[in-house]
Amino acid sequence: MIKETSGTNRGQGHRKRLRERFLKSSLKGFHDYEVIELLLSLNTPRKDCKQSAKLLLKQFKTFQAVLEASHEALCGIEGVGPANSLGIRLIKEVSDRYLEARIISKDVVQNPRDLMAYLKQVIGHKTKEVFAGIFLDAKNRVLTSKILFTGTLTTSSVYPREVIISALQHNAAAMIFAHNHPSGDVDPSRSDIEITRKLFFALKYVGIILHEHMIIGNEGFYSFAAHGLISKLNKEFDECNE
């Protein structure tokens, strides 16, 4: 009985030290497993969470993948359970919403930093390809963002009609597209280029500007605009409609 109480006190002391470290300097200096451990401790009273935190990282490989994991997958890890799964998924969704709020009503064409942070957070670490649309007003301020398509992206799985309907519903004057490459290789495929061309022309014909298409990887990104591909499409469109 004495040993059990002693162990409990050591665990409580460890939790207290983690929380004090966080309150003093946020997450600076924390290992990934310590961040997860601190998060698990909020919903796990009187139990050591270090082992469960390390099991999560072992199973899902990266901190980002832990946050992206499904409820069922998280509950499959010893010591996690429904309450902790809810906490982990809630943290991810709250973070996404916070970063989205930072770009609403902002001119992300002239000042793209917050947009990049948002896109890396929301789609950069997904294990499936997703195609996002950022809807802008006439002053390039963000109206909203939306995941338009999910799954392997091909020219037959991305529908310009649906994009145009969404753009008109949001009264968008311009758009930015972004999708992720789960492989981490951000170079555009032939299909990526064809999709961009198809959407650029479809939007242009209804008076909506496409400013950018970005491919987001685990680390870097590829900008169609920075590589001159959007300018090239503008020129091609003008030549076709002279």
Q: pLDDT > 90: what percent of the chain?
A: 67
CA distance 98 to 119: 12
Residue 48 pLDDT > 90, yes or no?
A: no
Number of H helices, E strands in the chain: 10, 5
Contact between residue 187 and residue 164 where contact means Cβ atoms under 8 Å apart: no
Q: pLDDT > 70: what percent of the chain?
A: 94
Give the other-Cβ count within 10 Å of 68's Cβ. 17
**Stronger pLDDT, 60 or 44, i.e. the higher one:** 60
Q: Residue 1: pLDDT band by 50, 70, 90 thresholds?
A: very low
Give the predicted TM-score (pTM) of the model.
0.81
Q: Which of 165, 161, 213, 219 is nearest to 191 (CA)?
A: 213
Distances (CA, A) of 122 to 48, 75, 91, 142: 31, 22, 13, 16
Contact between residue 175 and residue 143 where contact means Cβ atoms under 8 Å apart: no
